Structure 1
């Protein structure tokens, strides 16, 4: 037995040594390729980990920004998280080279932490991503926008009714009712189901979504939370999975209602001897997103849970970012009264004081409102994203080696003083036509670009314009927050700590009078 044991140990040791030599040789090759790249000095094995120790997620964003400003005024910057090479970029030419490369579509493995909650085009890679992306593209086809506008108006009208009950003296967090509105909207447009969530005070989905997002992102930059078994034993892990369980339960309810609708339609068609679908969406859409998802699930033999994970990707994407952007817009218009007056005048000129629905033609006339929305997306959209390289790529005089992670700092790209006259301030004039024309396209990235750009960007912009225009036609906004005292927390976007407190004052004066 002893010789066999010794033989096994020898094999294990030799295999380990060969493995370590291969790692070292690969690292030496990588180090040689990135030797030209500027970056901070690092410690063997640990790299630059100590630079980020005891940081919050917000601190991490600022630390990387500080590093990029110091070492990469015009160049990419390299740093190491242990043996993992990170190449950080924010200059338009570098961002364009990465985002528009058809071979660079996979996100870092860290994004798989999102897949316990949702698994669709946002977090998947490879062929699975392509399948889900094709489904998402169908949902956001331009021919569907006219029907979506009808839904946006209906839900916006429900939101108006709820907000009209608020006392002008009451300060409240506007994100709560808006999130219920956008969640109702995406359930309707993606699944055809009327959830009637705006009057549901017991709905936990918005809070569960925020808490789970914060925990997932915190997990990304804390290596000791990367191991699933250990993470599930922590208080953060237990809290996250409780939130996810409720999120999944909500989504199961939505999908079961749609399945019941389809069964009722099939039964009615059989009774009438016709295959015609007389559902209310007939002649307006070919198929709803979730119906296409059901078909894919049948072909791919997906489980009910996998369908839930896929559907959630669209539900979260359609509800969360629009709600937070709307909330920011109302807070900032409550602070910057001059811009609120500009928006009120624009709305009065377009709608003449009426409370009629917003049309697609109206959308194009809300130029100043769009400038405000775009400026807040500049300041508070997702602060970064990442791409994983599967092969070497050449950018200018540098070679980015395979297996490196490219960190794209949206936060810094959107605050580069070379392209933004007021980089850290609320300044909607950044989006005057002459200013937009003077900037490189890839200096502004709220919806990204290239193969993994957001397919719902137009859907989101129209939704935000309709919701905000309906609220602002009826109310003046007051907000007591001071911009210089605002603090932010990580979620899918940079969100305000403490919520989005405003007061609504019914309007009595209109500019057209």
Structure 2
């Protein structure tokens, strides 16, 4: 009797092992071109998620319709109304950066981005910069780190079930649950506010109001997914970019001082408002040049829905295309001395000399970043507030000292060396 039980256990174990091994082999074969790409993309260990845990890059048939609704939520009038939230949250960020025990630079800027998003888009500030009870940024970072290390294999939709029995799989499900709980908290609060003060549909609704007013006919899960996407995109890319920018400012003191002079000339010590941002032209060039030399997303993917003719070459229909943004941004054909940090590359007369698509930090085409202007306005506000209050220094002398890895966003392997001291007011 005992021997039969053990034989059954062994048989079941062998069957499960065969399923797992088969899953891995089939997935590796199906995605062999992606793995070949991962080995060669400019030296960066890039690991796409393949499977049904998060179908990154999959095209939803509803995306065009939804985008048409969302693009109205990024109108100039709505974006201008967000600047006061960017400013108040940047003041909390400045206070955090002053402290000797400040958090990791990526975390600090992501928390700022989360707070700005929640207050501007959802109508409430959850003060993640000050409250330790919310770990949304850390949870999103841990998810990305796990996905960077591992691929999720999909065969007969068994990938998550199999992976869930693995230690990191269980941790990942826990992080996903934590992110979902945070999003549901802010959605619950927003629904309560929306019920008390309903918003009539028009062409100037914020994203949250657009999702909740009923016109889009989305399920609760679809609304949660959309908010999660906007939340993670707003925090991750903007937070990472800002961490890179302040580090570059610490490396290039002359650029930092020129930016400081501009801010003090056009803004001074008063609260920063939407009318000030237009005058901060050098500050914007600093942001654009930072995103050229250190794009937060180093690679973007597309799927060819038809044959594409590129000179003498043809990209056949059905092929997945990966565009190496960081290599494009450092191509000497378009960017002489590409590793030199020079914001004046983005003077209007210099921009006019280059092809439009040699610079795509926000991607390009119909699926470009819908929040581009939102991100630029948020960064201009916060960076202006930082530079006028704090002097930034860094031990780095050149970009070659920085080592990166990437999953979705590009990060340094170690924490960034960046220090902040209060400026002496004259």
- TM-score class, shorter: 0.7 to 0.9
Q: Deviations over 1:298-337 (max 9, x none)?
A: 724x1x3332112111111222211111111111111221
| Mapping 1:218-257, distance limit 5 Å | 218-219=149-150, 227-257=159-189
Structure 1 residues 405-414 or 388-397, which shifts more? Answer: 388-397
Quote the residue 2:359 is aligned against.
444
- Decide which of 14, 19, 42 is 1:62's aligned counterpart: 42
Cα contact 1:190–1:289 (8 A) shared by 2: yes
Q: How do residues 428-443 of structure 1 correspond to structure 2 at under 5 angstroms? A: 428-443=343-358
Contiguous gaps of at least 5 residues in structure 1: 1-44, 66-107, 116-121, 267-276
Instruction: Please state if 1:207 is matched with 2:138.
Output: yes
The DSSP-based 3-state class of the residue aligned with 1:125 is coil
Q: Does 1:147 align with 2:71?
A: no
Distance 1:481 1:238 in 2: 38
Deviates most, 180-189 or 398-407: 398-407
Distance 1:194 1:48, change over 3 A: closer
Q: Contact 1:214/1:491 (CA < 8 Å) preserved in 2? A: yes
Give a deviation string over 1:122-159, Cα, whole Å, max 9, x none: 85524221233223212212221220112212222232
Q: Who is 1:335 aligned against?
A: 251
Aligned partner of 1:189 in structure 2 is: 120
In structure 1, distance between residues paired with 2:286 and 2:192: 42
Matched, 1:265 2:265: no
**Equivalent-residue separation in structure 2 for 1:63 and 1:152 (angstroms):** 36
Shift of 1:495: 1.1
Deviation at 1:480, TM superposition (A): 2.5
Alpha-carbon offset, residue 216 of structure 1: 3.1
Within 5 Å, give how 1:149-188 maps onto structure 2: 149-164=83-98, 166-167=99-100, 173-188=104-119
* Partner in structure 1 of residue 278 of structure 2: 364
Match of 2:19 in 1: none
Q: Is the 8 A contact 2:108 2:129 kept in 1?
A: yes
CA contact (8 A) 1:139 1:288 kept: yes
User: Which whole-Å CA distance do the structure 2 matches of 1:340 and 1:443 have between them?
Assistant: 26
User: What corresponds to 2:423 in structure 1?
Assistant: 507
* SS of structure 2 residue aligned to 1:127: coil
Moved more, 375-384 or 427-436: 427-436
Q: Once the two structures are superposed, what CA deviation does each residue of 1:181-215 show, in whole Å capped at 9, x if it has no partner?
A: 21011112222122222211232111111221233
The change in CA–CA distance for 1:423 and 1:296 in structure 2 (over 3 A counts) is farther
Higher Cα radius of gyration: 1
User: How far apart in 1 are the matches of 2:371 and 2:57?
Assistant: 16
Q: TM-score, normalised by structure 1?
A: 0.69
Unaligned runs of 5+ in 2: 1-27
Q: Distance in 1 between matches of 2:117 and 2:33?
A: 43
Q: Matched residues in 2 for 1:235 and 1:286: separation?
A: 46
Taking the aligned partners of 2:34 and 2:124, their CA distance within structure 1 comes to 49
Paired residue for 2:70? 136
Q: Write out aligned runs for 1:6-405 (5 A).
A: 49=32, 60-62=40-42, 110=50, 113-115=53-55, 123-164=57-98, 166-167=99-100, 173-219=104-150, 227-265=159-197, 286-296=204-214, 299-300=217-218, 302=219, 304-352=220-268, 354=269, 356-378=270-292, 379-405=294-320
TM-aligned CA distance change 1:414 to 1:344, over 3 Å: same
CA shift, 1:468, in A, is 0.6
CA 1:283 to 1:357, structure 2 compared with 1: closer, same or farther past 3 Å? farther
**Shift in Å, 1:498:** 2.3
TM-score if structure 2 supplies the norm length? 0.82
The C-alpha deviation readout for 1:263-311, integer Å capped at 9, x for no partner, is: 3336xxxxxxxxxx6xxxx9999433122212458724x1x33321121
- The 3-state SS of whatever aligns with 1:156 is helix
Residue-by-residue CA offset, 1:35-76 (whole Å, 9 max, x unaligned): xxxxxxxxxx979959967x9x6x5422599xxxxxxxxxxx
Contact 1:372 1:428 in 2 (8 A): yes
Superposed CA RMSD in Å reads 3.3
Residue 458 of structure 1: how far off its partner (Å): 0.7
- TM-aligned CA distance change 1:342 to 1:150, over 3 Å: same
Correspondence for 1:496 among 409, 412, 422: 412
Q: Secondary structure of 2:360's partner?
A: coil
CA change 1:135–1:217 in 2 (3 A) is farther
Would the alpha carbon gap of residues 393 and 485 (structure 1) be closer, same or farther in structure 2, given more than 3 Å must change?
A: closer
Aligned partners of 1:289, 1:50: CA distance in 2, in Å? 37
Cα 1:318–1:50 shift into 2, 3 Å = closer
Give 3-state SS (helix, strand or coil) of 1:155's partner. Answer: helix
